[in-house]
Protein backbone atom coordinates (compact mmCIF):
# COMPACT_ATOMS: atom_id res chain seq x y z
CA UNK A 1 0.00 0.00 0.00
CA UNK A 2 1.40 3.38 -0.98
CA UNK A 3 1.61 6.07 1.63
CA UNK A 4 0.49 9.53 0.58
CA UNK A 5 3.13 11.97 1.78
CA UNK A 6 2.27 15.12 -0.11
CA UNK A 7 -1.05 16.86 -0.61
CA UNK A 8 -1.07 19.97 -2.76
CA UNK A 9 -3.83 22.43 -1.88
CA UNK A 10 -5.84 23.97 -4.66
CA UNK A 11 -6.21 27.74 -4.56
CA UNK A 12 -9.84 28.80 -4.78
CA UNK A 13 -10.80 32.26 -5.94
CA UNK A 14 -12.43 34.11 -3.04
CA UNK A 15 -13.91 36.93 -5.11
CA UNK A 16 -16.07 34.66 -7.22
CA UNK A 17 -19.76 35.42 -6.81
CA UNK A 18 -22.08 32.47 -6.34
CA UNK A 19 -24.26 31.48 -9.27
CA UNK A 20 -27.35 31.02 -7.09
CA UNK A 21 -29.29 34.30 -7.38
CA UNK A 22 -31.09 36.09 -4.59
CA UNK A 23 -34.85 36.34 -4.77
CA UNK A 24 -36.52 39.40 -3.30
CA UNK A 25 -39.93 39.81 -1.68
CA UNK A 26 -41.65 43.02 -0.62
CA UNK A 27 -43.77 42.01 2.42
CA UNK A 28 -44.32 45.62 3.56
CA UNK A 29 -44.06 49.06 2.12
CA UNK A 30 -40.41 50.18 2.18
CA UNK A 31 -39.04 46.72 3.10
CA UNK A 32 -37.41 44.17 0.77
CA UNK A 33 -36.32 40.74 2.01
CA UNK A 34 -33.66 38.67 0.22
CA UNK A 35 -33.43 34.90 0.29
CA UNK A 36 -31.25 32.38 -1.47
CA UNK A 37 -32.69 28.90 -1.93
CA UNK A 38 -35.23 29.52 0.83
CA UNK A 39 -32.63 30.81 3.29
CA UNK A 40 -32.83 34.37 4.65
CA UNK A 41 -29.94 36.37 3.17
CA UNK A 42 -30.60 39.97 4.21
CA UNK A 43 -32.84 42.94 3.68
CA UNK A 44 -33.14 46.48 2.40
CA UNK A 45 -35.26 49.00 4.30
CA UNK A 46 -36.16 52.54 3.29
CA UNK A 47 -35.83 54.84 6.30
CA UNK A 48 -35.07 58.54 6.73
CA UNK A 49 -34.61 59.05 2.98
CA UNK A 50 -32.03 56.25 2.56
CA UNK A 51 -32.03 52.58 1.65
CA UNK A 52 -30.36 50.63 4.48
CA UNK A 53 -28.82 47.29 3.51
CA UNK A 54 -28.21 44.60 6.12
CA UNK A 55 -27.30 40.92 6.21
CA UNK A 56 -28.83 37.81 7.71
CA UNK A 57 -26.86 38.26 10.95
CA UNK A 58 -27.58 41.98 11.29
CA UNK A 59 -24.44 43.17 9.49
CA UNK A 60 -24.64 46.74 8.21
CA UNK A 61 -23.79 46.85 4.49
CA UNK A 62 -24.34 50.58 4.20
CA UNK A 63 -26.79 53.33 3.42
CA UNK A 64 -27.64 54.07 -0.21
CA UNK A 65 -29.59 56.69 -2.13
CA UNK A 66 -30.84 54.04 -4.58
CA UNK A 67 -32.65 50.77 -3.82
CA UNK A 68 -30.83 48.93 -6.62
CA UNK A 69 -27.45 49.83 -5.11
CA UNK A 70 -28.57 48.61 -1.68
CA UNK A 71 -29.79 45.31 -3.15
CA UNK A 72 -26.49 44.89 -4.98
CA UNK A 73 -24.61 45.45 -1.71
CA UNK A 74 -26.60 42.65 -0.06
CA UNK A 75 -26.02 40.36 -3.05
CA UNK A 76 -22.25 40.92 -3.13
CA UNK A 77 -21.79 40.65 0.64
CA UNK A 78 -23.81 37.44 0.94
CA UNK A 79 -22.12 35.87 -2.08
CA UNK A 80 -18.67 36.38 -0.54
CA UNK A 81 -19.74 34.64 2.66
CA UNK A 82 -20.75 31.46 0.87
CA UNK A 83 -18.23 28.67 0.37
CA UNK A 84 -17.00 28.33 -3.21
CA UNK A 85 -18.46 25.49 -5.26
CA UNK A 86 -16.49 22.30 -4.83
CA UNK A 87 -14.64 23.33 -1.68
CA UNK A 88 -16.46 20.91 0.59
CA UNK A 89 -15.90 18.02 -1.82
CA UNK A 90 -12.17 18.83 -1.89
CA UNK A 91 -12.08 18.78 1.90
CA UNK A 92 -13.87 15.42 1.93
CA UNK A 93 -11.38 13.93 -0.56
CA UNK A 94 -8.37 15.14 1.43
CA UNK A 95 -9.92 13.79 4.64
CA UNK A 96 -10.48 10.40 3.02
CA UNK A 97 -6.89 10.28 1.73
CA UNK A 98 -5.54 11.11 5.19
CA UNK A 99 -7.79 8.49 6.82
CA UNK A 100 -6.72 5.79 4.36
CA UNK A 101 -3.05 6.70 4.86
CA UNK A 102 -3.37 6.49 8.64
CA UNK A 103 -5.20 3.17 8.35
CA UNK A 104 -2.43 1.85 6.09
CA UNK A 105 0.27 2.93 8.51
CA UNK A 106 -1.60 1.32 11.39
CA UNK A 107 -1.93 -1.98 9.52
CA UNK A 108 1.76 -1.87 8.64
CA UNK A 109 2.67 -1.35 12.31
CA UNK A 110 0.39 -4.18 13.41
CA UNK A 111 1.83 -6.55 10.82
CA UNK A 112 5.41 -5.77 11.87
pLDDT tens per residue across span 53-98 = 999 889 999 999 999 999 999 998 887 655 555 666 677 777 877 8
For residue 110, pLDDT over 50 is answered with: yes
Q: Which of 74, 83, 77, 76 is nearest to 24 (CA)?
A: 74
Pick 101 or 55 by higher pLDDT.
55
Instruction: Check residue 6 and give its pLDDT.
Output: 60
How far apart (Å, rounded) are the C-alpha atoms in residues 83 and 80?
Answer: 8
CB 53 within 8 A of CB 35: no
Amino acid sequence: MALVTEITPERVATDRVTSVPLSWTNPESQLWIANRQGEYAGMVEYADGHFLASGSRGEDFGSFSDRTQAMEAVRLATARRRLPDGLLSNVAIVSAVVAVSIAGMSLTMIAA
